[in-house]
Amino acid sequence: MMAFSDLPIQRPVAVLMLLISLLVLGAVAIPHLPLDFMPLVERPFINVVVPFPGSHPLEGLRKVVEPLEEELATISGVESITAEAEPGQARVTVRFGWSVNLDLKKMEVREAVDRARDKLPDEINEIFVRGFQDGHTDNAMLEGRISAQRDLSESYELLDRKIKRPLERIQGVASVKLDGVSPQQVRIEVDPQALVRHDINPQVVLMKLQAANVDTDLGVIHGDLLRYEVRSLGRFRNLDEIRDMPLDTSGSLRIRDVARVTLREPRPDYGRHLDREFAIGVQVFREPTANTVDVCDAVMERIEKIREDP
């Protein structure tokens, strides 16, 4: 019987062909292997995020969280359900055991969310079901700086249209984040002297703005065959509606009399620099299963095309 150690001596050609075959297979496989600095670990958590525009946290708990919890609790293998609500959004986190098939549980969670949709407010359009993944998902795959002769600190719309969106359309790119620039916000700058002159407290102005800028459910009207949901639409649609909002019962005192309402970028609390000049930071995040090298090459190719655009 031939020992394993004798095989290379007795059959050198066969062993050589075997080694060559392994080298060829390795050379073919290397370009198709994904490259990662950190391993991907998928936690047994599923997050259900529900945007609820104009909602109060208590309203989100009552109208969104409770119906979702009722349906999600029927899924087998659930270890715990936690929830939180904040202005404009509600979130429910479902925890499973480590041994479960998370892809299957995501399908079951989506089915439970679909069953709960009839119980949710009509203004809820999108519901996001996401898993938790450790490893590289929180770390940017690529970071850079953008500087120009013009001031870019107030050019969010331009950067979003010319850089952020084109990069996010690349296959394998999950998201792109711009640092040092933000979308415009409504700023209401109160004049202290005007408040004293009209004898009004700034807290009263804030409370009236919060109370006015909300859509409210007024109830349901039942007809013979149909049911009508009554809702008051009170959210501000433009700056003039804010400026003209009354602060007293007579309507003689308005926001424009005590404050200046403008649309502008928020004040930055940090900055990025390139060659001692103010710059915009760009962070590119890739999808968990995408090949790092391929995505980086595609991003750099798109950046070169962006540079050619005047």
Q: Which of 207, 191, 179 is nearest to 269 (CA)?
A: 179
Which pLDDT band, with edges at 50, 70 and 90, does 136 fall under?
very low
Is the pLDDT higher at 287 or at 263?
A: 263
Give the pLDDT confidence of 21-56 residue by residue, as tens digits: 889 888 887 776 665 555 556 678 888 989 887 777
Amino acid 68: pLDDT: 92
Amino acid 36: pLDDT: 59
Amino acid 33: pLDDT: 66
Residue 61 scores a pLDDT above 80: yes
DSSP letters, 129-183, are EEEEEESSTTS-SEEEEE--SS--TT-HHHHIIIIIHHHHTSTTEEEEEEES---
Give the pLDDT confidence of 140-150 residue by residue, as tens digits: 778 888 777 77
Residue 270 scores a pLDDT above 70: no
pTM, 2 dp: 0.49
Q: What does the alpha-carbon distance between residue 230 and residue 221 come to, in Å, rounded to a whole number?
A: 7
Q: What does the alpha-carbon distance between residue 141 and residue 119 come to, in Å, rounded to a whole number?
A: 40
Maximal CA-CA distance, the chain: 108
Give the pLDDT confidence of 65-94 residue by residue, as tens digits: 999 999 999 998 888 899 888 888 889 999
Residue 130 scores a pLDDT above 70: yes
Which pLDDT band, with edges at 50, 70 and 90, does 135 fall under?
very low
Q: Which helix (H) or strand (E) holds 194?
A: helix 192-198
How deeply is 239 buried, as exposed, middle or buried, from its count of CB atoms within 10 A (0-12, 13-18, 19+)?
middle
Give the pLDDT confidence of 226-269 residue by residue, as tens digits: 877 777 777 788 888 888 888 888 878 889 998 898 888 777 66
Domains of the chain: 41-134 (3.30.70.1430), 142-183+268-308 (3.30.70.1320), 185-264 (3.30.2090.10)
Q: Which helix (H) or strand (E) holds 295?
A: helix 292-308
Amino acid 106: pLDDT: 86
Give the pLDDT confidence of 176-212 residue by residue, as tens digits: 888 877 777 788 888 999 888 888 888 888 888 888 8
User: Strand, helix or coil at 59?
Assistant: helix
End-to-end Cα, the chain, rounded Å: 77
User: Strand, helix or coil at 79?
Assistant: strand
Beta bridge partners of 81: 94
Q: What does the alpha-carbon distance between residue 66 and residue 187 come to, in Å, rounded to a whole number?
A: 35
Give yes or no for a contact between 144 and 282, defined as CB atoms under 8 angstroms apart: yes
Per-chain mean pLDDT for the chain: 81
Give yes or no for a contact between 287 and 174, defined as CB atoms under 8 angstroms apart: yes
Tokens 């929830």 sit at which residue?
Answer: 83
Residue 137 scores a pLDDT above 60: no
How deeply is 226 buried, as exposed, middle or buried, from its count of CB atoms within 10 A (0-12, 13-18, 19+)?
exposed
